[in-house]
């Protein structure tokens, strides 16, 4: 990654900037705010750009590599934009025993996409994730911030229809 001398450009909402300044005060050592800042920026901008990494490094008085190595370690941070909705299907054993793989396949079919890719209409990205700590209501799916439980074939259809309806309403 290149280190530029000009200040990196991130276009963050004022609320995000305010929350960033507040969250830094939670820790006696600024570096601890790395994960919170990455979350706040990803929620605002959709992904972590190179400039975002440089910006966080400046803000927390770190080297850019200190931020980059964190971004690449944690699965939730992404370096590129994804679909408008993020469908994360649990892949782990208890969900798989009750059809998690089928659920994941069904979502891919519904949106004409493949695992890890964004649907042609830009609406969704379907991913597998590991155990979501809701194994008793398997198979489970986390869509953006909402957990869906016992997602069988019928429920995939119903959820997909709703996502499409919401997308149509936006247009």
Partner 1 sequence: MPAPAQHRIIFQHIDEPGYSNDIDCYLRNGGYEVLKKAVTQKPEDLREEVKKSGLRGRGGAGFPCGFKWSLVDRKSGKPIYLIVNADESEPGTFKDRYIMHQDPHQLIEGTMISCFANDVKQAYIYIRGEMPEGARILEKAIAEARAKNLVGPNILGTGYSCEIFVHRGAGAYICGEETGLIESLEGKRANPRIKPPYFPAVLGLYQCPTIVNNVETLCHVKYIVQHGGAEYAKIGTPGNTGTRIFCVSGHVQRPGYYEFPAGTITMGQLLNDVCGGPLPGRTFKAVIPGGSSAKVLRFGERYKGKRKVGTDMVDYDWGVEDVPMDFDSLAMIGSMGGSGGVIVMDDSVNMVEALANINAFYQHESCGQCTPCREGSLWMKKISSRMVHGEARKEDAALLKSVADQIPGRTICAFGEACSWPTQSFLIKFKDEFEGYAEAKKNLPADRLSLV
Q: How many CB atoms lie within 10 A of CB 148?
A: 19
Number of residues that bind ligand FES (CB under 6 A): 12
| Structure-block tokens of residue 37 | 């800042």
Q: Closest CB to partner 1 among 68 and 163? A: 68
* 75 is an interface residue for partner 1 by CB under 8 A: yes
Task: Please choose, out of 5-13, 124-132, 153-161, 162-170, the segment that lies near partner 1 by the rule CB under 8 A.
Answer: 124-132
The percent helix, strand, coil of the chain (3-state, each to 5) is 50, 10, 40
| Structure-block tokens of residue 119 | 């649907």
Which 87-116 positions form the footprint of ligand FES (CB under 6 A)?
90, 92-95
- Dihedral, CA atoms, 43, 46, 50, 55, nearest 10 degrees? -30
**Could you give the strand order of the β-sheet that contains 141-143, starting from the edge strand earlier in sequence?**
124-129, 85-90, 141-143, 146-148
Query: Which of partner 1, ligand FES, none does residue 61 bind to, with CB < 5 to 8 Å depending on kind?
Result: none
Among 18, 93, 153, 165, binds partner 1 (CB under 8 A): 93
Binding site for partner 1 (CB under 8 A): 26, 28-29, 31-36, 38-39, 60, 66, 69-70, 73-77, 88, 91-94, 96-99, 101-102, 129-138, 142, 145-147
């Amino acid at each position: 990654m290149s280190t530029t001398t000009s200040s990196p450009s991130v276009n963050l909402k004022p609320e995000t900037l305010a929350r960033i300044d507040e969250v830094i005060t939670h820790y006696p050592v600024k570096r601890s705010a790395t994960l919170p800042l990455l979350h706040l920026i990803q929620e605002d901008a959709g992904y972590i750009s190179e400039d975002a990494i440089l910006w966080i490094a400046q803000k927390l008085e770190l080297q850019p590599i200190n931020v980059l190595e964190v971004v690449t370690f944690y699965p939730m941070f992404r370096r590129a934009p994804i679909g408008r909705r993020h469908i994360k299907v649990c892949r782990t054993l208890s969900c798989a025993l009750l059809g998690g793989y089928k659920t994941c396949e069904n979502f891919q079919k519904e949106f004409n996409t493949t695992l890890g890719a964004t649907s042609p209409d830009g609406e969704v990205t379907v991913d597998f994730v590991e155990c979501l700590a809701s194994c008793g209501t398997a198979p489970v799916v986390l869509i953006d911030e909402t957990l869906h439980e016992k997602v069988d074939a019928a429920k995939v259809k119903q959820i997909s229809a709703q996502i499409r309806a919401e997308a149509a309403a936006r247009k």
